[in-house]
Structure formats: C-alpha cells, structure tokens
Structure 1
Amino acid sequence: MALLPSWAWVLASCLSAAAGASDLSGLYPPLWEESPGQFSDYIVENGKYIIDPWIFTERMGAYRILLNQTAPYFEKYAPENELNILWGLPLQHGWQYRSGRLADPTTGTGCGHENGDNLCISVDSWWADINYFLSVLPFLAAIDSGIMGISSEQVTLLPPSKDDMRFCYNVSGCFSKFPDIMQKWTTFFQYIQLPSSTFYESLEYLWEAHSSSLKNSYKNFEDRYAYYSKQEADFERHLIVAVEGIAAVRLPPTLIIIHNAQKHLPPRVLVATDIPPLIADFTLPQNLVLVILNFIIGWVETLQVYTG
C-alpha cells in the first residue's frame, strides 16, 4: 500500500514535466547524434556487426539503437519517444562520461582523459564495469527477444584490454554466465511487445531487470574501490543502495525526469578534500544529495546493527 502514494507523486511529476517540454533533443546524452543509430553504422566483418563497448560512442550507439527499436512500443504513451522508460540507461551513461567517471581512475593511462583518448572507456573504472551490465546485457537480451530484428549470430562484442573473464560477449555466453540478468531483461523486452502491455507493468519488469543487473554484478568489482578516494568509493556504494530504493517505488526513468534528476548528481569525481555540504564547486542541490545519501546509508547501517 505504501507504493501507491509514491506512484501517484511520481506520475504527477512526470506529467507536469512533460507538459513543459519543447525541444527534447536538447535533453539527449552527450554525443548521442554522433553515436551509431543503426546496426549498419558499425563495422561489418564476415557478416557480423563488430561493436567495441569500450569506446564511448560505440556503447552509447547500442543504447541509441535500443531506444530506436523500442520506440514503437512507447509511442502510445507520448510522442517523440519521451516516455520510453529505457532513457534512464543512456542518460546515466552520459552523466558518467561527462563527469569523468569512465576514465582510468589509476591515471596510469590516458584512457578517458581529456589529454588522452577521451572516448576510451577504462576497464579499471568501477562505473564503466557496472554500466556494462546495464548496457551490453540489456542490448543482447533485446536481440534474443526478437525486438532488434537481427539474430544473435550477427553481432560480436569486443573484450576489454584485461579482465575479460569478468564479462560476457554474446547472447549464449551471457545466458550461461549471468542467467538471472539475461532472463529478466529478455522477459522485459518480451512483455513490452505484447499488445496488452501497460506502462506500469512495464516499469515492474524494467526495475526487476535493472535490480538484477546490479545485484549480480557490483560485488565482482569491489576491488575497483581502491582506485578512488574514500568519498568517491562511498558514493559508489551508497548509490547502489539508493537505486534499490528508487526501484522499489518504480520511478519512471523517462527522458525528462532523468535529465532533470541528473542535475543534482556530482559533476566530477569526488576527491579526498570534498566534504559535503561544503564542496565549493558543487551547487547546493548537488551538495545536499551527498549529505542525504550519507545520512540515509548511515541510518540503514545502524538499523542493520540493531536488528541483526
């Protein structure tokens, strides 16, 4: 029953935001138009599309194709694909890129840095590794569901420069290695293709798949925390918990809602001297988000101690 007031509030926010929207293209993630928008934009070798998900525009291109292919199933809710609930994924990836979180946190290479290869996605980045399970796996599950219009044999994903055993690269391999994640994403894509599908039920399936992606991946990359300041590592941990809460209330991750929400996220990687709410180059809302996250996580951890 507690879900209903939250849902009513979210729906009202969604509708009021959409009513004031004009130029939606201005809300798209960075380099959206420069990223592949169809499979033929990728390199083709031996009849297969070759995608390198460790290049920002190529990973973003997978999102763009996914949004394009699923657009017909969300046009009944709003024009211009604005209420496609997959928008949260590329927008979050765009914020990670814009804030420098996809760059090599060890600074041992120029990967992702402005003075190096700024389109490179570093396998040492905690953010990039977690996002892999919210980009490549949904993309391959969509292919498996039939919604993408090609077979699984027509796509090849390239591995990173190291730690390749932590990931998967094709439909069969991902089903074998991460069956729960793949099955939940496939179920989501199968559901939205049904004529009887609804917006609310689509949200249920989406957040189940999203939660599975996080639950079954984030512990595999806890070693990456060592590459960051305590403040940034804590933010990474706290954000996982916060997203679980967002999933519980079924927030619609549509274009306008997520674009507006991301204005309140830290615009750069946190360093050791960052103490919210006193971070000078952050806005007040950005400082407050960090304060609130710290408070909530502290309260949750205290509660867990007392409840066993």
Structure 2
Amino acid sequence: MHPLWVVTVLLLQCLSSHTAVITEGGYPYLWHKVPDRHGEQPPEDGVLVIQPWDYLQRMALYKWMLNATDEYMTSMGSRPNENPLWNLPLQLSWLYKSVRLADPTSATTCGHETGDILCVSPHSWWACVNYYLSVIPFLAAVETGLLGQGVTVQVQAPTGVEQDYCASQEDCDVKQPELMLKWESFYQALKNLSTSDLPDAEKKEQILKFMWDAQTSSLEASSQCKDLQKNYSEPEQKFSRIWIESTEFMAATHIHSSLEKAVPLMAPLPGRILKEGDKPPNIADLSEEENHALYIFYWMESMNSNLEGALKNMWRSAMCSTTARKRGQEVLSNLFLDPKFAVAGLMSIIKDMSSTC
C-alpha cells in the first residue's frame, strides 16, 4: 500500500468526528440488509423484478455486481475488498446519508425522515444520475452472463417522470446501446484477462481503464437528467455540475477505487444539500474538510473555465503512463485532503508530468 494512502487513512480516522460519515461498520449504509446474491431474492413468475426507486434494492444491485465480478479481480491484490467497483455503492451511501436521494421539491416525503427514508425519488437529479451508474451496469452484467445463464430482469419504472428508463436488458440495448456496450466490454475484458498470461500489473491497468471508461460514459449518458437540476439551489446546481467534471479528472488517473482507498476520498464530500448563500470555504455548519473539498471543486472548475477547458485536456494528456497516473492520484489526494497544498503550483506539476510523455 502506498505510504500516502496509509497517512491519509490514519488522518481521516482521527478527523472522523468532523467529516461526513458514509459507512457503517466499514461498509456502505445498510450493506448487510441486502442479499448477497440475486438468487436470494425470489423471482416473480421466473422474472427477477428490481425496484431501483428503493435504496435497499439499488444497493443490492451493487452487491450482486461486486460478488459476481470478485472472482475476476485477483490481479487487483490479495487484500479483501480490492474490487474497484466499490466506489459505486459508496457513492450511493453518500447520496443516502446526505439526503440527496430524497424529493428536492418537497412535493412528496420520498426519501425524507418524515416519510419513507429508503425511498429514492424520481425527482432527484442525483438519483437519476446514479441510475446510469447502477441499473444500466447491472443490466449489462446480466446481458454478459455474469449473474448466470437465463436470468431475465424486469425493471420497475417510476410514474410521472419524463426520463425514458430501461425496463429490461433488451430494452436498454435499444435505448442505451453505446452505454450498454461500454459496460459489456468491461465485463468481457474481466473474463478474458482472468485467463490471460499477462502480468497482474498489466491486467490491473487494463481492468481499471475499461472500468473508468464505462463509468465516465454513464455520466455522459446521464445528461438526460439535466432538467431535474432546476429543483435545487444555485450552489447545489453548481456543485452537481462540478462533481460530474471532477470525476473525469479522477478517471484519467485510473485510480484503483477499492473500499479502503475510496472511503477517504469520499469522506470530505458535503454531508448535506447545499442551499442559497453557501459559499465555501466559509459554510458554518460544514466541517473544515468539507469546506476545503468544496473550495477545491470550485477552484478547479473556475480554472478550467478560464482556460476554456484546457486544464482538463492538459490533465488527460499528462496521464500518459502508469507512473504519471500514480503521481496524478497523489496530486488529487493532496488537493482535496491537504489544505496546505499549494494549488497555485498545479499547472507546473501538470506541465512537469506532461514532459515525460
């Protein structure tokens, strides 16, 4: 394990009372409340019916995907929970704890403590975006046979929304053919690499490339959720846009988002929906770590905008080798976790990394 991660984990454990808590017992919230395998959920007339507008049902999709792919992830390392897909259920856990899955219009009590707290609102922009990172990857896993042969899935759609969600894997092949292909390519690569004679380090790098390619494609497809952003305050809308952009910076480093490594990076995410008047780094009821992370999000968005997208393009170009990508991971960790890190030196760091390409 890289020394930087050891220090980061220890530091965040010491500050746990001041940062958002996104796990319980070391796992995403209510992880132990969902079945380990899809076979443990009784089918209806031979069809596996999933209700992704319930938090436990959506979390179950992640658990089934993780358990189905673990056997192909031996090149990731020998420690428990090395599967890089762990970042997905952790994201869902953060959305749940920060009440971002709830109805932002307050027209219903869906997702709120006054109603069904496990309800996932179809009016939530965050829930809509997460749909493209949960239901569609799951349907692609079914399509590639990872969950067994002959599995038929029916997805319950919410009522009263404009988004044209998938009802089955066949339906998704029509509505989201390119995105389904991205995730199917990732799963197929897992199978092929598991029997390959390539060194584990090279297998790992290829797996991470395919995975992050699929995840960024999901975020691009989630642009169909855009109309739902109007349900939030201007600060939350701005954060949501920046959050999408920041994922591309992370994806370019091919970070190995195991359970252990992903938790520290998500802990500083804001633990509540932002409201009018929130201006980092001086939001009184958010922790110093949350304020700092938000400040960096805003700074990077401003820098990239001022450079007309050049910052993101330069960053992608700089991530040209395994060595450069490891350094990129360290830079991002320092940016978001170390308030003393000099952000003014980021451009020179990127240029230095680019010079090795």
Q: TM-score if structure 1 supplies the norm length? A: 0.88
Report what 1:184 is aligned to.
182
**Over 6 Å off, 4+ runs:** 15-20
Q: 2:79 and 2:66 mapped to 1: Cα distance?
A: 11
Report what 2:169 is aligned to.
171
SS at match of 1:107: coil
Report what 2:142 is aligned to.
143
Is 1:247 the counterpart of 2:251? The answer is: yes
Q: 1:151 and 1:17 mapped to 2: Cα distance?
A: 44
Distance 1:84 1:25, change over 3 A: farther
SS at match of 2:31: coil
What per-residue deviation string (whole Å, max 9, x for no partner) do you get for residues 54-105 of structure 1?
Answer: 0000010011111111111224533464210110111101100011000000
Is 1:299 the counterpart of 2:278? The answer is: no
Match of 2:227 among 213, 223, 228: 223
What is the CA distance between 1:172 and its match in structure 2?
Answer: 1.3
Distance 1:165 1:275, change over 3 A: closer
The size of the alignment, in residue pairs, is 293
Match of 2:211 among 200, 206, 210: 206
What is the CA distance between 1:143 and its match in structure 2?
Answer: 1.1
Distance 1:283 1:86, change over 3 A: same
What is the CA distance between 1:46 and its match in structure 2?
Answer: 0.9
SS at match of 2:35: coil
Report what 1:129 is aligned to.
128
Report what 1:4 is aligned to.
none
Identity across matched positions, percent: 35
Is 1:271 the counterpart of 2:247? The answer is: no
Report what 2:86 is aligned to.
87
Counterpart residue identity of residue 208, structure 2: L
Q: 1:244 and 1:92 mapped to 2: Cα distance?
A: 15
Report what 2:29 is aligned to.
30
Task: Specify every segment of 5 or more residues in structure 2 that has no aligned partner in the other structure, as ranges.
Answer: 12-22, 312-357
What is the CA distance between 1:43 and its match in structure 2?
Answer: 4.0
Distance 1:155 1:17, change over 3 A: farther
SS at match of 2:243: helix
SS at match of 1:50: strand
Q: 1:49 and 1:40 mapped to 2: Cα distance?
A: 9
Report what 1:3 is aligned to.
none
Counterpart residue identity of residue 159, structure 1: A
SS at match of 2:250: helix
What is the CA distance between 1:273 and its match in structure 2?
Answer: 2.5
Distance 1:47 1:109, change over 3 A: same
Judge which range, 74-83 or 245-254, deviates more: 74-83
Counterpart residue identity of residue 126, structure 2: W
Matches within 5 A, 1:144-159: 144-152=143-151, 154-159=152-157
Is 1:46 the counterpart of 2:51? The answer is: no
What per-residue deviation string (whole Å, max 9, x for no partner) do you get for residues 166-195 of structure 1?
Answer: 211211111111111110100101111121
Distance 1:16 1:278, change over 3 A: closer
C-alpha contact 1:42 1:51 (8 A) present in aligned 2: no
Cα-Cα RMSD:
2.4
C-alpha contact 1:17 1:256 (8 A) present in aligned 2: no
C-alpha contact 1:137 1:174 (8 A) present in aligned 2: yes
Judge which range, 287-296 or 274-283, deviates more: 274-283
Q: 1:271 and 1:216 mapped to 2: Cα distance?
A: 27
Report what 1:69 is aligned to.
68
Counterpart residue identity of residue 190, structure 1: Q
SS at match of 1:156: strand
Counterpart residue identity of residue 242, structure 1: S
Distance 1:168 1:47, change over 3 A: same
What is the CA distance between 1:16 and its match in structure 2?
Answer: 7.4
What is the CA distance between 1:11 and its match in structure 2?
Answer: 5.8
Distance 1:121 1:34, change over 3 A: same
C-alpha contact 1:71 1:81 (8 A) present in aligned 2: no
Q: 2:259 and 2:127 mapped to 1: Cα distance?
A: 21
Q: 1:266 and 1:255 mapped to 2: Cα distance?
A: 19
Q: 1:211 and 1:234 mapped to 2: Cα distance?
A: 19
Report what 1:111 is aligned to.
110
C-alpha contact 2:9 2:264 (8 A) present in aligned 1: no
Q: 2:229 and 2:47 mapped to 1: Cα distance?
A: 36
Q: 2:33 and 2:226 mapped to 1: Cα distance?
A: 33
Distance 1:185 1:262, change over 3 A: same
